[in-house]
A and B are shown apart, each in its own frame.
Chain A
Amino acid sequence: MGHTLAVLVENRPGVLTRISGLISRRAFNIESIAAGYTEDKDMTRITIVVREDDDQQVQQLVDQLAKLVDVIRIVDHTHIDSLERELVLIKVKAIPEKRSDIVDIVDIFRANIVDVNRETMVIELSGGQSKTDALCEVLTDYGIIEIVRTGKVIISRGPLPAKAL
């Protein structure tokens, strides 16, 4: 499986470009990358899912990223007890006869319907990757129009922040 890295960076212009540029330049494979503000207004947190099995290679990526001036700390969550979530919005065909079926499915997955019109619905789901994959698969039969995913974010269980791990 992959490794999930939490990268804490200075909130400076161009920092995302530097991170993503380094990853592609050094020929690493990335599954997803998600960035957002944090509890500290000067700090951005970037969650990167690396498609790489070789631990040595992941360490190399961590070491290269750590050299960037803007990078404060990198935590590899692979061996840390953590919660991971991804938000998915799915626009699916929903003709009146099929609507109740879809509502049932949405309930089973504890997802939400956030928009409905005569022909389609938008479903919102947050959860781990296997859950979102499963929902997407079930909905395929009804006709998926588009899917948008935020990419994975991760946080450790227990009292400590990533900075202190």
Chain B
Amino acid sequence: MKNGAEYIIEFLEKKGVEVVFGYPGGQILNFYHYLGRSNLKHILVRHEQAAAHAACGYARVTGRPGVCIATSGPGATNLVTGIADAYLDSIPLIAITGQVKLQDIGKDSFQEADITGITTPITKHSYLIQDLKQLPGVLDEAWQVATKGRPGPVLIDVPKDLFLEQEDMAAIHSHLITRKVAREDNTEKMMPQIVERLSHAKRPLILAGGGVISAGAWDALAELVQRTGIPVVTTLMGKGAYPEDQPLALGMVGMHGLAAANLALSHCDVLLCLGTRFSDRVTGNRRNFLDKACIIHVDTDAAELQKNVITDFPVHRDLNDFFKALLEDPKLVRSEAAGEWSSRIQQWQNQYKQPEAYTGDILKPQALIRSVARLADPRSVVVTDVGQHQMFVAQHYPIRQPRGFLTSGGLGAMGFGLPAAMGAAFGVPGEPVILFVGDGGFQMTLQELATIREHRLPIKIFIMNNGNLGMIRQWQGLFFEAHYVASDLPAFPDFVKLAEAYDVPAFRITTPAELEEKVRQVLSTQGPVLADCWIDTNEYVFPMIPPGGKPQDMIGRWQNETHIRSISGE
């Protein structure tokens, strides 16, 4: 005989879960009573939102599901942002919440919220346990749902009394989702044509998305690139799917993609899209996205095919299976036109180079990121928050390994960075974690400095402090007649003193002259450390494709020009 709490804990242990992130409360106290006696390591966060983001950070860096725990009502609703983030970025996440007693459900009881209903649109599935006998089946199914196919979050809501109710669980048959009818697979027919197209393309290109990373298919991708010589661009979520220090890695595409990557994308004649969903940040106006190119789209989620962009070869396949079939085909060869194409790309790369050096007295965000990238341990996990700094990191920090770049891509949730870095630090114990975060996003979840200090996590926090909401300011500057409304963050705190209050060592970096030395000091500090970096307030993220535009409309400052102009000349 086991009670509900014991069964859940034993289930998690059996699945190899080591760390869970959570925050207690009235309706989940029964669970904590047993959790405290288990082998699971419980990390007490300082706000439930951080539990969800930390579990996400953990899952992103390890590939294993992250687990977060909260109580009913406000505890559960505080998880919502983190769950939505996991949903949009396809991260396996298991949220366990306490609920009011079975007989109190639906009576507007104290701390009651319909969290299964609230999270229905942002989970792969949400479960309310109404009978302890359902628990074994639900846990099995929930784990499968979170991890299989396209990963994502699930939520399991457990009424308080069921944690203590006893049941002979071994006698209960768990019923799994065996009845679902699989979709017909017709990709076999498409394969010869796909091989033909890729082998004889004049301007072939690979667009790698986050799916390559969640499928663990990066080695196969590298093999494909080596064999065919096809250059690779990535989405924000695909960063790290292919090592960015390789010559065929062109970097990120999209709204703030690198010029050469975007130009390659707009000029390619055959595009192989792997595990990506054609987000509006990649396509701009999706109606006329690459209307002349042949697009091959491979995704494990059938619903992503033909959703945002109509493609020529919609392939519903697990990426590993697809790569296997592709690489086994002897007809797959390097295209004869490859040389001409890559020299054209190189030309773009030279013509629209990001500046290497940043001169002047003001600290540029790009210079800071480049300096950290140069000096940091190459094994470091890089985490960002959301906004200008996120795009600067995506453009300027070359990521060499998969699962080495963690960012809130789809949801774009400010406040993600610090707790996600914390979760990542538990996922790869001992390895350094580098966090870039704006002064805005940092102030959304900075309470986690306490958790980070408690566990002495080796997180190097670089606050890209420009005293305002940089991306908002940029949009207001470019598209709202420089009418800056609510984008200034006045009375920002002294972050160095703040860090000291949490007993976290801190530095301040204010000039380019001291940059290198200070970055070295930060990186060589053991345990957590914070650097308050005063960066240029007026810096914009370029290149930028204006919303709804095409790559030709990309604006920026080209080749050290001081004025902003579009790439086509206007």
Residues of chain A at the chain B interface (Cβ within 8 Å)? 10, 13-14, 17-18, 21-22, 25, 56, 59-60, 63-64, 66-73, 163
Contact = CB atoms under 8 A, between A and B. Distances in A.
9 contacts: A21-B121, A60-B303, A60-B306, A60-B307, A63-B302, A66-B183, A67-B301, A69-B177, A70-B125
Interface in B113-149: 116-117, 120-121, 124-125, 128, 130, 141, 145
Could you tell me the dominant secondary structure of chain A's interface residues?
Answer: helix
B173 interface: no
B491 interface: no
A60 B305 CA distance: 8
B117 A71 contact: no
A107 to B, nearest CB: 45
A21 B177 CA distance: 21
Contacts of A67: 124, 301-303
Contacts of B306: 56, 59-60
Contacts of B301: 67
A17 B145 contact: no
Nearest to A56: B306
Given A63-B307, A66-B183, 8 more contacts: A13-B128, A14-B128, A22-B121, A56-B310, A59-B306, A60-B306, A67-B124, A72-B181
B179 interface: yes
Contacts, number: 46
Contacts of B125: 68-70
B180 interface: yes
A69 B141 CA distance: 9
Contacts of A25: 121
Contacts of A163: 181
Interface in B203-236: none
Contacts of A56: 306, 310
Contact of B130 (A10, A13, A17, A72): A13
A60 B310 CA distance: 11
Contact of B117 (A17, A63, A64): A17
Contacts of A14: 116-117, 120, 128
Interface of B: 116-117, 120-121, 124-125, 128, 130, 141, 145, 177, 179-181, 183, 301-303, 305-307, 310
A66 B181 CA distance: 9
Contacts of A70: 125
Nearest to B303: A63
Contacts of B121: 21-22, 25
Nearest to B183: A66
Contacts of B177: 69
Contacts of A59: 306
A63 B145 CA distance: 16
A50 to B, nearest CB: 15
Contact of A63 (B120, B124, B128, B305): B305
B181 A21 contact: no
A125 B120 CA distance: 38
A73 B183 CA distance: 9
Contacts of A18: 120
B179 A10 contact: yes
Contact of B120 (A21, A71, A72): A21
A73 B181 contact: yes
B260 to A, nearest CB: 33
B114 to A, nearest CB: 10
A71 B485 CA distance: 47
A21 B119 CA distance: 12
Contacts of B145: 69
Q: Which of A14, A21, A69, A70 has the largest count of B CB atoms less than 10 A from its CB?
A: A69
Contacts of B310: 56
Given A69-B141, A72-B180, A17 B120 contact: yes
A142 to B, nearest CB: 44
A13 to B, nearest CB: 7
Nearest to B130: A13
A66 B145 CA distance: 13
A56 B128 CA distance: 34
A12 to B, nearest CB: 9
B177 to A, nearest CB: 6
B139 to A, nearest CB: 14
A72 to B, nearest CB: 5
B120 A66 contact: no
A25 B124 CA distance: 14
A21 to B, nearest CB: 6
A73 B121 CA distance: 20
B434 to A, nearest CB: 36
A77 to B, nearest CB: 16
Contact of A66 (B116, B128, B303, B305): B303
Contacts of B116: 14
A72 B179 contact: yes
Nearest to A70: B125
Contacts of B124: 67, 69
A131 B522 CA distance: 78
